[in-house]
Amino acid sequence: MVHSPEVKPQVVGDVTIRHILCAVDLSGPAAKALSYAAALRSALGAELSVLFVDPDTTERPQDVASRGLTAFIAATLGPAPDVRPIQRQGEPIDEILRTSATLACDLVVMGTHGHTGVQRLLLGSVAESVLRRSLAPVLVVPHAMAKREDPARLDSVICAVDFAANAQRVVEYAVSVATTTGARLVVAHVLEWSEEADSLPSPDTSGFPTSEDDAVARLNTLLTSEQRARFSPELAVGYGSPGDELLRLAKERGADLMVLGVRRRNALDLVLFGSTVRRVLRDAPCPVLTVSTSG
């Protein structure tokens, strides 16, 4: 059973999370996603709405579908009178985005299904499409976590930074969670080369750190002196494939949440270290919070 404490929404810098929307399809992965949404709601003192979109647009009693959603919420969270169930019919992607915008939600939470082959994300491409188009940050709970019976935890947070524009915004979301939960905070960057390589990136052309010391110094600038004093955050630098390194770090540190910055080149393209977002979302051992650094 998850209870919501009587606390005000957490505000860190420009980050305020007042309302969380969890989109569910009444499956096991969706139940795990709802558990994490409820844990965040409790930690942040936010409202929680749970949305089920029925793609079948044929006429059916609305109250029957609503009872199914209410039963799903109760089975997952126990009695939760302060959780708002929302039933819609139509195309899931459009309805999720429309509901998030209408309610002015600050965070969207979704689970993923373990498809084989091309490793598509949730419900075909629903989670991926929502992630691409959502104006609000999206928390994705990987399919592999659906089989775990341990309760949702928020004791360790890893914040992955690529030093794109607005990287500070990514750090603020990680700090917001760490502030309210008392989680350990790791701020990490991955250098896509080895220090033993013959040729290193040119500081005049790459704009990215050219050594571990340089990366650590830049990570330090993303944290205020108060944040460094409060968390004593670990500043971690890896080498090689960003996706592989971030997954390794998450497993080594027992991460309960990973926060990633996402850049949009255009409406159909998301970029974080190339294909890192999809790699991490597919194989992460913990939920992944994606925060847009565009605009």
Please answer whether residues 131 and 138 qualify as being in contact, where contact means their C-beta atoms are separated by less than 8 angstroms. Answer: yes
Q: What is the mean pLDDT of each run of 10 residues along the chain (295 residues)?
A: 40 72 91 92 92 78 69 92 93 95 96 54 64 89 75 89 83 88 92 60 61 93 87 90 92 94 58 64 89 73
Q: What phi-psi label fits residue 291: left (phi over 0), alpha (psi between -120 and 50 degrees) or beta? A: beta
Taken in order 43, 48, 50, 51, is the CA torsion positive or negative?
negative
Could you tell me which residues are beta bridge partners of residue 289? 139, 259
**What pLDDT was estimated at residue 278?**
78
Q: Where are the domains of the chain?
A: 11-147, 156-292
Please answer whether residues 96 and 127 qualify as being in contact, where contact means their C-beta atoms are separated by less than 8 angstroms. Answer: no
**What pLDDT was estimated at residue 210?**
83
- pTM equals 0.83
**What pLDDT was estimated at residue 268?**
44
**What pLDDT was estimated at residue 204?**
45
Same fold, 11-147 and 156-292: yes
Domain 11-147, CATH homologous superfamily name and number:
HUPs (3.40.50.620)
Count the alpha carbons within 13 Å of 131 in the hemisphere toward its beta carbon.
29
**What pLDDT was estimated at residue 120?**
43
- Could you confirm whether domain 156-292 is CATH 3.40.50.620? yes
**What pLDDT was estimated at residue 166?**
78
At residue 161, φ and ψ (nearest 5 deg) are: -120, 135
